[in-house]
């Protein structure tokens, strides 16, 4: 952006000062090649994962695939749409560097982009925690079919999670917090400035994300312990034990990736919001280094959307057999609960 974003968009919403080091963004992490490459890799990864999911679920009974396919489709679809929506706005910006305030009037595009990023980001974390919870209760109740999540129940859970994420994403529009142009000027999100509304919104978003990640990790840890107990039960059915191996790999992989990709940005948001509180309303732009660190953490979050299909769809029994040959051939489980 030529000049400060605050001056261009009006007082109170600008958080990115391009004169403070933004001129070199085209040759840094803020350049168009990073956005294009991340978006392309993520879209291809989710498309491939979706094809694998549909092909593997075709041979399963409707009872076995109902809830699991709904959750996985919700997770993969959310990741895909998040990358598609963000890329469709951010990549054209790099090509023409349009003025945010002049696009759509009233900065509707700004609010749409910021809300969609919160919606697809928070929704994925909530859905991951829900999947971990489903597997947790499935293992601890013996993996019986009666504990499986039906298709209707899964859609209901996905809908409630999406509704909460949508409400949170619309916070700035509803008066909770405010949005602003973020470094390097190519995206729009909730500000980390120390005004009351902005601080509450940031802490609410980060707190909800941290709670979901911790819940996800707790469910996964207990589920893996229970899965190990089932696997080492020599009297158990081999296919059941093989299913536990597959599920444990997915749980561990998903939990590690989500914690690494999301933990940094969530902790950074909380830390920055609390550190800026003493400044009151005197601070109009964030320090340049803070802006750059936020961009780095956002890039890390994008990797969660890229790697999700590999963890939840591609880490199936057919793949694990190449690494651990003692696993017998059999259909890959797609349901949230073993059985």
* Residue-wise pLDDT tens digits, 141-189: 654 443 455 556 677 777 777 787 777 777 767 766 666 677 776 676 6
In a domain, 24, yes or no: no
Is residue 338 within 8 Å of 148, Cβ to Cβ? no
Domain that holds residue 214: 29-323
Q: What is the pLDDT of residues 230-279, one digit of tens each?
A: 656 655 555 455 566 666 677 777 778 888 888 898 999 888 888 776 66
In a domain, 3, yes or no: no
Closest CA to 168 of 181, 177, 155, 158: 177
Which residues, in sequence order, are CB contacts of 217 under 8 Å at separation 6+? 132, 255, 259
Token digits of residue 141: 């109740």
In a domain, 331, yes or no: no
Return d(Cα 1, Cα 184) in angstroms, integer.
8
Structural domain tally of the chain?
1
In a domain, 303, yes or no: yes
Burial of 53 (0-12, 13-18, 19+ CB in 10 A): buried
Q: What is the pLDDT of residues 24-41, one digit of tens each?
A: 444 455 567 777 888 889
The average pLDDT across 304-330 equals 66
In a domain, 225, yes or no: yes
The CATH number of whichever domain residue 264 belongs to comes to: 1.20.1070.10
In a domain, 310, yes or no: yes
In a domain, 337, yes or no: no
């Amino acid at each position: 952006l030529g000049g400060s974003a605050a001056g261009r968009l009006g007082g109170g919403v600008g958080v990115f000062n391009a004169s403070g080091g933004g001129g070199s963004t085209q040759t840094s992490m803020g350049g168009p090649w990073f956005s294009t490459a991340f978006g392309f890799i993520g879209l291809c990864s989710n498309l491939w994962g979706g094809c694998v999911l549909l092909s593997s679920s075709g041979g399963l009974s409707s009872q076995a695939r109902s809830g699991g396919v709904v959750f996985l489709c919700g997770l993969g679809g959310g990741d895909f749409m998040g990358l598609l929506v963000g890329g469709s706005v951010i990549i054209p910006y790099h090509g023409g560097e349009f003025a945010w305030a002049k696009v759509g009037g009233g900065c509707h595009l700004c609010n749409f982009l910021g809300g969609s990023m919160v919606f697809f980001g928070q929704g994925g974390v909530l859905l991951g925690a829900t999947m971990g919870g489903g597997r947790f209760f499935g293992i601890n109740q013996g993996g019986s079919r009666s504990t499986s999540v039906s298709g209707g129940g899964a859609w209901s859970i996905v809908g409630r999670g999406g509704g909460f994420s949508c409400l949170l994403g619309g916070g700035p529009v509803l008066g909770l917090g405010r949005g602003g142009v973020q470094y390097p000027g190519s995206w729009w999100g909730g500000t980390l400035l120390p005004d009351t509304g902005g601080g509450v919104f940031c802490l609410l978003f980060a707190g909800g994300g941290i709670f979901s990640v911790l819940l996800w990790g707790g469910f996964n840890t207990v589920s893996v312990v229970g899965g190990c107990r089932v696997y080492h039960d020599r009297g158990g059915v081999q296919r059941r034990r093989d299913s536990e191996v597959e599920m444990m790999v997915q749980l561990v992989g998903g939990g590690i990736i989500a914690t690494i990709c999301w933990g940094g940005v969530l902790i950074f948001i909380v830390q920055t919001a609390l550190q800026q509180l003493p400044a009151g309303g005197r601070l109009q732009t964030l320090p340049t280094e803070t802006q750059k660190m936020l961009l780095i953490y956002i890039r890390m979050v994008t990797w969660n959307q890229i790697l999700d299909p590999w963890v939840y769809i591609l880490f199936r029994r057919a793949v694990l057999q190449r690494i651990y040959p003692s696993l017998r051939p059999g259909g890959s489980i797609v349901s949230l609960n073993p059985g």
